[in-house]
Amino acid sequence: MAESIELPSRLGILPFRNKVLLPGAIIRIRCTSPTSVKLVEQELWQREEKGLIGILPVRDAAETTAVGPTLSQGVGSDSGERVPKIQVGASDGHKVDGKNQQEVIHWHNRGVAARALHLSRGVEKPSGRVTYIVVLEGLCRFSVQELSTRGTYYTARISSLEMTKIEMEQVEQDPDFIALSRQFKATAMELISVLEQKQKTSGRTKVLLETVPIHKLADIFVASFEIGFEEQLLMLDSIDLKVRLSKATELVDRHLQSIRVAEKITQKVEGQLSKSQKEFLLRQQMRAIKEELGDNDDDEDDLVALERKMQSAGMPSNVWKHVQRELRRLKKMQPQQPGYNSSRVYLEILADLPWQQASEEVDLDLKAAKERLDSDHYGLTRVKRRIIEYLAVRKLKPDARGPVLCFVGPPGVGKTSLASSIASALGRKFVRISLGGVKDEADIRGHRRTYIGSMPGRLIDGLKRVGVCNPVMLLDEIDKTGSDVRGDPASALLEVLDPEQNKTFNDHYLNVPFDLSKVIFVATANRAQLIPPPLLDRMEVIELPGYSPEEKLRIAMQHLIPRVLEQHGLSSEFLQIPEAMVKLVIQRYTREAGVRNLERNLAALARAAAVRISENEKAVPVSKDVHQLTTPLLDNRLADGAEVEMEVLSMGVNNHEISSTLRIASPLVVDAAMLEKVLGPPTYYDETAERVATPGVSVGLVWTTFGGEVQFVEATAMAGKGDLHLTGQLGDVIKESAQLALTWVRAKATNLQLVAEEEINLLDGRDIHIHFPAGAVPKDGPSAGVTLVTALVSLFSRKRVRADTAMTGEMTLRGLVLPVGGVKDKVLAAHRYGIKRVILPERNKKDLAEVPAAVLACLEILPAKRIEDVLEQAFEGGCPWRVSSKL
């Protein structure tokens, strides 16, 4: 390394993109672009050892922040020419190429002169392109005065930034420089010692500290570090020696601290490993000593206790072999190992599962079971009969594989409580698995043990909770499972509910077969249509329709009111709800298939009564003609000075009889005024007559997941082009039914005397708009066909439909009325709304057997075979145009 370097006034410039070459540093580059090849060939190859080039850092155009001053574009050259845009090949670290010739380069105004230590030339085949591999050594800093082009590469007029010998001697006498030099050498010596100790090398690197000048030594050390481009530029711009030494000392110290932190982490990890090995050896020695002394207590060994628990679990032989293998693997592991806890939890779950533990079934008494069902549930005769049949088969053959019962019905009709009654009748434990909103197959089959936080599926977890292998398991809301990228739970249930497959149910977490054939599965759903057909095929569907108002009244008086009073700390002595008031609640405040809203309203009345009783804790004054008792018992009750009504009792009465005399004088009886004050204005009222007061409105019956409902259909005409408009959030099927109804009416318009002649178009000059109220509720299905025809005929004939008549039925293009589903729910809905006449398809007469006789007694059922029969019954006085029509 030369002490004094004379630089020419102009140097060829090789750009370094996002990288800096410092004096004293050595770098190897490969030149392939025409620009860099021409520069190396003319400035280094032809001049041999005398050749020098300038290495100038450049910044990407995307980077807007520059450190230090930068040269602007278009600097004038010696010949007076201008460079309109500086274009240069990219310098990718150690590789210079010229791919993006249109990229604007931001030049740094300081660089480093470099000479070639090694230069080799090559030719690429088959293109014949010349390339150079150059090993460059940085010599000294320079400043760019002017930047121009020479042919294809750049040259610059420069001025050296190196200090003269005299200036250097003056700086070396500066006390601050001497202190910085000592600090830098001490830090550098410490870094070299750490590196030599880490790499097991000799002290040859320390010779540099004694032979190389301190100002060049700083550049050499910093060049060996991996630092950012911005810090490299700061080091390059440190012309002042004291600033350069200070910056270099900071970088060397930071590199030293990073090495020490890394060594500390390594030593900590190695120490932990050695500690684990030491603990393992000590535990083995302790176990051997205990065995020699005969002091090995199995009760203190958790693994031995776990093994005993698994031995008593009654596992099948294939499962026991698998468990033994896992247990041996666990014994070889240390508690600190990552997989120890997961393996232990896995074995504990296997030991807790009821492989052989079963509930002892009581002798089935069908009479007692029937009484229990009657006491818990009112009505539901068909459902109770099917449950009794199921229990009778179980009594004759306990190991019989009975069907999987699926109770389908609207909310609040007692589906879940029926499953609980089955468990009580059989004397088995009951477990409920909620499937509503489940979209992950792992909820049924469990997670694989490779995942963090894995756990068994809900079925295995439920069996683990009840502790028996033969419970009654309720799969609640089985119609509300979904599917996504995590799998399809409904498909996973196929194996669970199949008696031929669930004997070897394989949970992903257990990874061993488990017998589910002893479990009695009962499912519940609101709609059978949402259950996949393969899963529905494995179950016996039992429909639970909604309750009639009379059934709701009996349920409220026998079940709901006693339960509500007990939940609110009341009794019939404090609150009485007459049947008439319960009827008002059913008619005016609840129109549902079940009884949940009814129970909520009764609970609201109980809360209001509790508030009134708590606020009026004033007893009735004692009558003048009644003697007072002065027994200690009553003295205690009157400690707060309250007055109660008393009567003289003989000394032979017991405490219960005495306490029965201390009650409120008169209970709170709910009346119509209290009903409206607590529950507010009536929610429902008879609006049928008001809604059908104008032509174009008919009353239909529909089925929903909440039971049957009354649906009004409104039609109106307006000036237009004969278009049909449908509103009310309708599905495709009901839209097709509307189009079908309009087509039939247009075809029969002359026969129905809706137009005078056959050639007249019924829709000439007007549009038809059909609306289904309650637009926020989606509607679909074919059962509104007859209702749509009736509304259109009423519109065109300007005659009103009977307000006491509702209808349902699918129609064909030829005018036939086809049967529909949900007849019982629809008839009950009509009864709830006060409808007196119901038009049904003739082929649905068989479904009326399920409707309670009390409901049928209040309704007039009108069977219809064709659309003409519907129209005959829908209008007051029959169809007035039927006599002259050709129907």
Residue at 868: amino acid letter = E
- For residue 57, whether the previous peptide bond is cis, meaning omega lies within 30 degrees of 0, is no
Give CA–CA dist 240/248, Å, rounded. 12
**Computed from CA positions of residues 876, 878, 883, 884, in that sequence, does the dihedral angle turn out positive or negative?**
positive
Give CA–CA dist 780/470, Å, rounded. 42
Give CA–CA dist 178/214, Å, rounded. 10
In order, the DSSP letters of 487-507 are B-HHHHHHHHT-TTTGGGEE-
Q: Which residues contact 821 (CB under 8 A, 6 or more apart)?
A: 703, 783
| Residue that has been written with the tokens 């007859």 in this structure | 786
Q: Which residues contact 180 (CB under 8 A, 6 or more apart)?
A: 242, 245, 246, 249
Phi, psi of 58 (to 5 degrees): -130, 155
DSSP symbol at 886: -
Give CA–CA dist 860/255, Å, rounded. 97
- The bridge status of strand 505-506 relative to strand 668-669 is unpaired
Q: Which residues contact 333 (CB under 8 A, 6 or more apart)?
A: 339, 340, 343
Give CA–CA dist 724/792, Å, rounded. 12
In order, the DSSP letters of 353-413 are S-SS----PPPP-HHHHHHHHHHH-SS-HHHHHHHHHHHHHHHH-TT----EEEEE--TTS
Q: Could you give the residue numbers annotated as active site?
A: 783, 826
Two structure tokens written together for 667: 């209970």
Are 191 and 255 contacting, i.e. CB atoms less than 8 angstroms apart?
yes
Residue at 72: amino acid letter = S
- Using left for φ > 0, alpha for ψ between -120 and 50, and beta otherwise, residue 714 falls in beta
Judged by DSSP in three states, 304 sits in helix
Give CA–CA dist 306/309, Å, rounded. 5
Phi, psi of 349 (to 5 degrees): -65, -40
Which of 93, 72, 95, 94 has the alpha carbon at shortest distance from 82? 72
